[in-house]
Structure 1
Amino acid sequence: MNSTERRALAGLASLYVFRMLGLFMVLPVLSLYGADYSGSTPALLGLALGAYGLSQALLQIPLGILSDRWGRKPVIFLGLSVFAIGSVVAALTDTVFGLIAGRMLQGAGAIAAATMALAADLTRDENRGKAMAVIGASIGVAFVLAVVLGPLVAGLGGLSAIFWLTALLALVGMLLVWRLVPNPQHSARRGPGQGDFTRLLRQGDVWRLVSGVFFLHLLLTMMFVPLPHLLVDQLHMPSEQHWKLYGPLMLGAFVLMLPLMRAAEKRQRVPAAMRLALLGLVFGGVALMPQVHGRWIVACLGVFFLAFNLLEALLPAQLTRVAPAECRGAATGLYATLQFLGAFAGGSLGGLVYGQGGAGAVATLALGILLVWSIAWWQMRGTRVPLASL
């Protein structure tokens, strides 16, 4: 990569970290601290947890198309502004419905497609796979930081403290885009035509990959409805101490993920590595089962987080390789839409099922979803990785 590409990638990856950090920090604490909000129920708190995903899913493609017309940076600034406003609304409310409204406003700042399109504009074809892998890995970094910082910040000032910090991070993101990310000389593509969309929708592996990110974020969000309660009840760990568990587990998972990702790409075994990671996600469901106690919960969570981080890094990189070049932007827009739709579905389903049947029912549902996912991925093919991207 040349200096311009490295500068652009550093800025956009940092933007992803700050953007996703604000969204992920509520995951380990919302179901606990949200119980203090007026009108809260497990189902409504699950809806609040996943609500940002619904507005994200609805607006990713429209804002991605708008970025083709207005330019990438204006749409990113607009999205970050709306995200900050939603954070302030969530910080000021004391009702669960205000919390849901704030989370939906946060999600309305849907900039993932525009950000990935800007990354494509600023990198050459031979480096684009590597750029998408770095951006995917940055989401893993944000998740690692968030599950550590979320309980710490909430312990100091409740959910409102997290939302105020999130609004501040949105402003920092604007500064990063303004000062660090260069303006593209031209867009890689001004939007696919109808024929390009048809070609995209005929690609079986494209659908397998975007369905993969849907299921991945569905499972993650659904797990974090019962998980904080499980740590309190089973491990007798106060909520403000949860970072002491999440921190080492997530750091270890991220460190182990890096050589696994590198080896999978170098040996042209990315689909096999993703299937293995899918198997690792099973341990997330196992951790929620009532028969599992103590250190086995911790061990299962460690395997789950490793599998999550590996898939979060590999999925977008593989998508840019299998999608036709002329509609790569449409593919990343579809990917972002399914990613956040999965978060909405996971929070909503998790809250509903947990309220009716407890953590064991959530575990059963998670394992059933993994079975469906494994069937969908059975016939995924490999795609050779260009040597220049390694």
Structure 2
Amino acid sequence: MQPTSHQLTSAEKKAAAALALIFSSRMLGLFMLLPVFAIYGTELAGFSPLWIGLAIGAYGFTQALLQIPMGWLSDKIGRHQVMLLGLGLFALGSVVAALADSVYMVTFGRVLQGAGAIAGAVLALAADLTREEQRPKVMAIIGMSIGLSFAAAMVLGPMIAARAGLSGVFWFTAAMALLAMGLVLRTPKAIHQAPQRETLAVPALLGKLLRSPQLLRLNLGIMLLHFLLTALFIALPQQLLALDFGSDAHWHLYLPVLFGSFVLMVPMIIISVRKQQEIAFFRLALVLLFSATLLFWLGAAQLPLLAAALLLFFTGFNYLEASLPALLSRQAPAGQKGTAMGLYSSAQFFGAFLGGLAGGLVASKFGLPAVFLLSTLLTIGWLASTVGMSVPAKAERLSIDLSNKTSREAEALLLQLTGLPGVLEATLVPEEQRCYLKVQAGSFDYQQLQSLQAS
């Protein structure tokens, strides 16, 4: 029985699984330092609260700088080559950090880890290997793998560090990078290239999208979200130690909290979509973050309050981490999703860098509670910025090959497409011989599109 257009083929399933493993193994290595460095890095020469933040957030700086350029490079030399290069840099950075005896060399290792910015190449290959109507499913699988890798990192990081120290964590991440390189070699090469504008950033569009008020809110949002996450783990592990909660038992707290936050977050997503209350639940998630950071600040001396704050924080965090990309995809203009996602990813990693830098500075000058207070103030500002935020109608994205059309025929087709019911946007890109459509889900007639293409 042949698969229908609503099912992933066997090849698409294998590609999704392989790319999800590649992506998540790398993210696992990046996340694993969060819960352990503030504890196990104390024996390194030059250790200080500032350098805790720099070492934790350093990967975000190079990730933010190289995320878009590495995606462009994958168009020039190939997706697999860029993925192998990036994973090689990640493995090298892990080895440098594992052998380091100073916080400065660990930070340098983290910079090298971040230089392996392969997200753009992975997502572009995922698009190349899948049919257009199945790409959202494959991207969702990769997205879920990131969430799972974060949860695993919160548990594995403390467990490995308790047995093998900080260097053991970095040796583990190096092994994961090598495993991912083996998976890349076994991943099939694309037989076609997906439409560039829906997968990779276009340089000429960067300035335009940076000026979009709605997209700017979302980019600042993901930046703040990862700022808060990184800053939290500069202060929280040390605060737990101050309450005589042993470092080897920290995963006993993280595991049930993450599980509980997932249980609470899923109904939020389901209800927000069914009731079409995305903005209301978005603000609710921000209220959860505000409540969590306030509780971290006021209840730092009591373990039950810290546990409750952590549950609130990760419920809000997980909801926003899942909903922000979906909102961005709906806001991005037709033919500009790749650029929008490139800016979004760069903002995400830059937020991690800023969170490490600012959190380390504040902790070194004013103490750990001040980090929680800073986070509380930022969530208030973020909540205020949602005034005027809007959610467009649910949309699907299509790309139409016009290589068999003359320029005049293509322009005529564009006018006809624009007039079809359910078409929200249509963009003609002559140099690619392609038209990009953004259509309203459920009200667009695909048969009319096929008829126009055939005429």
TM-score by length of 1: 0.92
2:18 and 2:154 map into 1 onto residues whose CA distance is 23
Higher percent of residues as strand: 2
Segment drifting more, 315-324 vs 5-14: 5-14
Task: Assess if the C-alpha contact under 8 Å between 1:133 and 1:313 holds in 2.
Answer: no
Matched, 1:33 2:31: no
Query: Which position in structure 2 is the counterpart of 1:2?
Result: 8
| Structure 1 position 256 matched with structure 2 position 264 | yes
Q: Give the Cα–Cα distance (whole angstroms) in 1 for the partners of residues 133 and 91 of structure 2.
A: 35
Q: Which amino acid aligns with 2:240?
A: L
Change (3 A) 1:92 1:122: same
Matched, 1:46 2:53: yes
Deviation string 1:232-272 (CA, Å, 9 cap, x unpaired) is: 113x2110110000011112222333343233334433333
- Measured after TM superposition, the shift of residue 278 of structure 1 is 1.6
CA shift at 1:364, angstroms? 1.4
User: Are the aligned partners of 2:201 and 2:340 in contact in 1 as well (CA < 8 Å)?
Assistant: no
1:71, CA displacement in angstroms?
A: 2.4
SS state of the match for residue 225, structure 1?
A: helix
Match of 1:167 in 2: 174
Bigger shift: residues 54-63 or 267-276: 267-276
**Counterparts of 1:208 and 1:126 in 2: how far apart (Å)?**
28
Unaligned runs of 5+ in 1: none
Residues 274 and 181 of structure 1: CA distance in aligned 2, closer, same or farther (over 3 Å): farther
Please report how far the alpha carbon of residue 324 of structure 1 lies from its aligned counterpart in structure 2 after TM superposition. 1.9
In the alignment, does 2:124 pair up with 1:120? no
Supply the distance in 1 between the matched residues of 2:170 and 2:12 (Cα, whole angstroms).
32
C-alpha change, 1:334 and 1:161, in structure 2 (3 Å) is same
Q: Which residue of 2 aligns with 1:143?
A: 150
Amino-acid identity (%): 46
Please state which structure has a larger fraction of its residues in helix. 1
Q: Tell me if 1:313 matches 2:322.
A: yes
Are residues 165 and 192 of structure 1, via their aligned partners in 2, closer, same or farther at CA, if it must alter by over 3 Å?
A: closer
Gap runs ≥5 in structure 2 = 1-6, 396-440, 443-455
| Structure 1 position 120, deviation (Å) | 3.3
Deviations 1:173-225 (A, max 9, x none): 22233324652511321666565445433432222111111101100000000
Which amino acid is 2:297 matched to?
A: M
Separation of aligned partners in 1, 2:202 and 2:370: 45
Give the secondary-structure state (helix, strand or coil) at the position aligned to 2:367.
Answer: helix
Structure 1 counterpart of 2:337: 328
Alpha carbons of 1:182 and 1:252: their partners in 2 closer, same or farther (altered >3 Å)? farther
Contact 2:72–2:201 under 8 Å retained in 1: no
Q: Equivalent of 2:292, from 260, 268, 284?
A: 284
After superposition, the CA RMSD in angstroms is 2.1
Partner of residue 19 from structure 1, selected from 26, 33, 42: 26
Amino acid at match of 1:276: L
Q: Deviations over 1:156-177 (max 9, x none)?
A: 1111001000011111222233
- How far is 1:51 from its partner? 0.6
Alpha carbons 1:134, 1:313 under 8 Å: kept = no
Kindly provide the amino acid, as one letter, of the partner of residue 175 in structure 2: L
Q: Is the 8 A contact 1:205 1:380 kept in 2?
A: yes
Q: Is the CA contact 1:76–1:111 (under 8 Å) kept in the aligned structure 2?
A: yes
Match of 1:226 among 235, 242, 250: 235
On the 8 A contact 2:299/2:305 being kept in 1, the answer is no
Deviation per CA, 1:43-86: give whole Å up to 9, x if none: 11211111111111111111111122222222111111100000
CA drift of 1:124 comes to 4.3
Largest Rg, 1 or 2: 2
* Number of matched pairs: 387
How far 1:308 sits from its partner (Å)? 1.1
Conserved? CA contact 1:31–1:45, under 8 Å: yes
Higher relative contact order (Cα pairs below 8 Å, separated by 6+ residues): 1
**Is 2:67 the counterpart of 1:60?**
yes
Corresponding residue for 1:80? 87
Q: Distance in 2 between matches of 1:354 and 1:99?
A: 20
